[in-house]
Amino acid sequence: MSSRAASTPVNMLLSVLVTCVASASALAFTYGATYERILAQEKAAEERALLAALPGASSFEALEEDLVERADAAAGDTPVSGVWVASTESGEIGWTIRCGPRGYGGPIQLVVGLDRNGKVTGVSIVTHSETPGLGSSVLEDAEFMDQFDEWDGADIDRSAKAFDAISGATKSSVGVRAGVLAAGYVYRDVLSEQNGGGERE
Amino acid sequence: MSEWLSTFRRGLSVDNPLTVLMIGLCATLAVSTKFEGAFFMGAAVVFVITSSTALISAIRSLVPQQVRIPIFIVVIASFVTVVDLGLHAFFPAVYTFLGVWIPLIVVNCAILGRAEAFAYNNPVRLAIADGLGMGFGFGGVIILLAAIREFVGTGRLEFMGQMLVALPSWYRGPGIVLLFPGAFIIFGFMVAGAGVINRRIHGRVVETSLHCTIEEGGRK
């Protein structure tokens, strides 16, 4: 067996220092090599979710920071992290709202699409940490996810009364509902007034 | 070479990190709800444990006794971060599923445990055998556990979007299998099963795991 470096202060300091520097440079290299791919992956995932929530739109433009902040305030407990204006060549067709209501295993990041009258066009899931096979099957259940279509953002509380949760996954179900409710509040309190002016670029 | 093979085999059988040593259980119970996720978790652990034990064994004569743990942790954490970034860039679906469990491979005690108990005291050649054996032992058990849980709990078995087995849609699996209590119950049966097999084949269950091969001050 080879002899071991003695635990003198200099040896200890030096060995830890060298290990940390070597590890830091290896990580910097890996980070640099993967950074752009990771960014592209995240952007693609978000675009897919936006498009799934509001099919037919050709472009999405993020709303200004202060409007998103107002939207977040309007949504109450549910954090809203982004609002996009969706348009086709012929003009604006609605909004997509990204929020993170609480599910069973943590926030369910989802995107709710609304048309210009505040009717829900679709709900799509970006990320979640629900129990696979139980909560997660709720999010893959087309019948469950489609029930939100046509909910009225202007009077979301009344629409929400017709809600059907899935037994065995109540918290996941209610989490998705909270997200749609939040989007409704955002429409009622913030977006509906954007409708009249129409002078935004 | 036979020493290499026997070291490798010990990780799979009589020193299996999960069913015999019972280290690294928290990640195992949490991630084993989906076959696909468990597969990549197992692969990530094989990579991390083999590369860290190899590197730690290679630099072991330069590592002073009193600061060995911080150095092990830095080495392990670096490999885990490489896996984390790699999965995020190339397998976003897997990355989303494993989530917080990838960074938590750092604190998977199976890895630090092997670095401390084996790699720090043995040549690189054997450290690699031990890392591979332990990694595959860990991966095999977690994959089997996940396959049982996914199949019994949902009636289906999927891998990379491919349906491997599917029961008819009237099948409603017991939800408890997918939650933590179910993991404990099934894992308990697996430990019992591994005990029976080890006793049959090797005539012992835990003897070797109770004394680690520690060599002090260069004495064998």
Which residues touch A193 (CB under 8 Å, ≥6 apart)? none
Residues of B in contact with A137 (CB under 8 A): 154
Residues 6+ away with beta carbon under 8 Å from A118: A152, A153, A154, A184, A187, A188, A191, A192
A196 falls in which pLDDT band (50, 70, 90)? low
How many contacts (CB atoms, under 8 Å) link A and B? 96
Q: Is B85 on the interface with A (CB under 8 A)?
A: yes
Q: What is the pLDDT confidence band of residue B55, given thresholds at 50, 70 and 90?
A: very high
Buried b (16+ CB within 10 A) or exposed e, A11-43: bbeebbeebeeebeeebeebeeebeeebeebee
Q: Which residues in chain A touch residue B99, judged by CB atoms under 8 angstroms apart? A: 129
Chain B residues in contact with A129 (beta carbon < 8 A)? 99
Say whether B86 and A30 touch across the interface (CB within 8 A): yes
User: Lowest-confidence range among A15-19, B37-41, B101-105?
Assistant: B101-105
A73 at interface of B, judged by CB pairs closer than 8 A:
no
Question: Mean pLDDT throughout B152-178?
Answer: 80
Q: How far is A103 from chain B (nearest CA, A)?
A: 15
User: Mutate which of A8, A21, A38, A170 to disrupt the B interface (most B C-beta within 10 Å)?
Assistant: A38
pLDDT of residue A201: 37
- Closest approach of chain A CAs to the CA of B200, in angstroms? 36
Q: Which two tokens stand for residue B33?
A: 């709800």
- Asked if A38 and B61 come within 8 Å (Cβ–Cβ), the reply is no
Query: Does residue B212 surpass a pLDDT of 60?
Result: no
Three-state DSSP class for residue B175: helix
Give residue B63's region: left, alpha or beta (phi > 0; psi -120 to 50).
beta
User: Distance from A5 to chain B by nearest Cα, in Å?
Assistant: 5
Enumerate residues 6+ apart whose C-beta is below 8 A from A9: none
| pLDDT, tens only, A63-94 | 888 888 888 888 888 888 888 888 888 888 88
Q: What is the pLDDT of residues A44-67, one digit of tens each?
A: 888 888 888 888 888 888 888 888
Confidence category of residue A1, pLDDT binned at 50, 70, 90: very low
Q: Which residues of A touch B152 (CB under 8 A)?
A: none
Looking at every residue in chain B, the average pLDDT score rounds to 84
Residues facing B158 on adjacent strands: B163
Rounded to 5 degrees, φ, ψ at B2 are: -70, -30
